[in-house]
Amino acid sequence: MKNPKPRDLEVVPLKKYREPRYPVAGDFDMAVLRGQPYPFSSRFRSWATTIGASSLICSLVSGEEPAGDGTGNPFSVAKSGLPFRSSPFGTGQPSYLSQEIAREIIDRIFAEKGFKLQQDFVYRKDDIAFKATGFDAKARVGYVWADWNSLDPADAIIHWIDEQFSKKSIEQLIDTDQGEPAKLEASAGYLVQVMEERYQGGQFKAEVEKATSIKSLPDRLRALADIFEKAKATESEEKVSLREMKSLEAGDGKDRDFVAVISQRQFEYQEYPTTPELQKKFEAARLIKDDAERAKAYQELQKEAASETLKRLEGSVRDYLEWARGQGLQN
């Protein structure tokens, strides 16, 4: 067998390439998993959105009333951690209290103080409109549990995917994948999916339907990108925006309403063992052979991990109502 004839190394210049984008190693919003495809499998998404905080119960904060810090409004925009950037990756993924658990705690405290909250109240005043998680129209006090479902993505949430669908990125995508219609078709479909998820009010439905009927894939993507840019600049009438939060916070006088925007971001916690004692408990739970018993043991440890966070939430709500009374709230 003859040895192959050696060839000179040939350098070929790369004419086009996709601009690299690297994930931001910031805090991670678990709710983002619901709308994201690869690299998250359906099994992983199911695990991530059901385990942890969703298993907590209100009994963890029974007993002695948590003390607040008495430093004014604990739910100011400055303390909320908003706006925040959601990333599909990151380090030190925190867990968040579920809306169900948080609402049970908050509603109980409002009731103890004599307020009668109407759930999912449509709040409107001047140019402010959103759905309050609970509101007492007579006393003019309530709250919004600010998570992925209730925050306006226009500015309260900076989503990692926004830049992917900017006009510049779309043009780059078209240029890179011009000869691969399957990729362009998939990108167009994904952009429609993102818009349907984030703008459920339907105000852009007709425009999106018109854009999706465009046969030319590049032109369809450009039309969808135009709608996406337009949609980002609007405020939802069901979700609360930063502008509305600041307006509520700045209100004064006799006609002031008190709506606490309680950010889920303020009540993060870590499920992993933080003490040698908890480490031993986690190790013991890991060794349990029966699946059901092992799952129950982990659930109890998750409750224990979140208990201080639940107490902190309760103390903050009591602080808020005390602060609001000092600002003129009556009932």
pLDDT (0 to 100) of residue 1: 55
Q: What share of the chain has pLDDT > 70, as a percent?
A: 76
Over 90: is that where the pLDDT of 240 sits?
A: yes
Please choose, from the candidates 122, 53, 58, 27, the residue with its C-alpha nearest in 3D space to the C-alpha of residue 317.
Answer: 58
Q: Which tokens go with 19?
A: 């601009």
Measure the CA–CA gap between 33 and 202, rounded to whole angstroms.
23
Query: Span 240-266, mean pLDDT?
Result: 91
Lowest mean pLDDT among 83-87, 108-112, 148-152, 156-160: 83-87
- Please report, for the chain, how many H helices and E strands are present, in that order: 10, 8
Over 90: is that where the pLDDT of 160 sits?
A: no
Whether the CB-CB separation of 144 and 260 falls below 8 Å is answered with yes
Query: Which position has the higher pLDDT, 17 or 331?
Result: 331
Over 70: is that where the pLDDT of 294 sits?
A: yes
| Band of residue 320 on the pLDDT scale cut at 50, 70, 90 | very high
pLDDT (0 to 100) of residue 234: 85
Measure the CA–CA gap between 209 and 207, rounded to whole angstroms.
5
| Band of residue 92 on the pLDDT scale cut at 50, 70, 90 | low
Measure the CA–CA gap between 76 and 84, rounded to whole angstroms.
15
- Where is 284: in which H helix or E strand? helix 276-286
Over 70: is that where the pLDDT of 223 sits?
A: yes
pLDDT (0 to 100) of residue 213: 95
Measure the CA–CA gap between 161 and 234, rounded to whole angstroms.
17
Over 50: is that where the pLDDT of 257 sits?
A: yes
Give 289's strand partners: none
Lowest mean pLDDT among 240-254, 270-284, 308-322: 270-284
Whether the CB-CB separation of 27 and 268 falls below 8 Å is answered with yes
Query: Strand 157-159 relative to strand 84-86: parallel, antiparallel, unpaired?
Result: parallel
Question: pLDDT, tens digit, for every residue of 32-85?
Answer: 333 333 333 333 333 333 333 333 333 333 344 444 455 689 999 999 999 988
pLDDT (0 to 100) of residue 212: 94
Question: pLDDT, tens digit, for every residue of 167-221?
Answer: 999 999 999 988 899 999 999 999 998 888 777 667 788 999 999 999 999 999 9
Query: Span 155-172, mean pLDDT?
Result: 88
Mean pLDDT of the chain: 79
| Burial (CB count within 10 angstroms: exposed 0-12, middle 13-18, buried 19+), residue 94 | middle
Lowest mean pLDDT among 61-70, 243-252, 302-311, 320-329: 61-70
- Report pTM: 0.66
**Residues 204-230 as b or e (16 or more Cβ within 10 Å = b):** beebbeebeeeeebbebbbbbbebbee
pLDDT (0 to 100) of residue 27: 37
Measure the CA–CA gap between 86 and 92, rounded to whole angstroms.
14
Would the CA dihedral through 141, 313, 92, 46 be positive or negative?
negative
Query: Strand 118-125 relative to strand 141-146: parallel, antiparallel, unpaired?
Result: unpaired
Over 50: is that where the pLDDT of 23 sits?
A: no
Question: pLDDT, tens digit, for every residue of 96-138?
Answer: 888 888 899 999 999 999 999 999 999 999 999 999 999 999 9
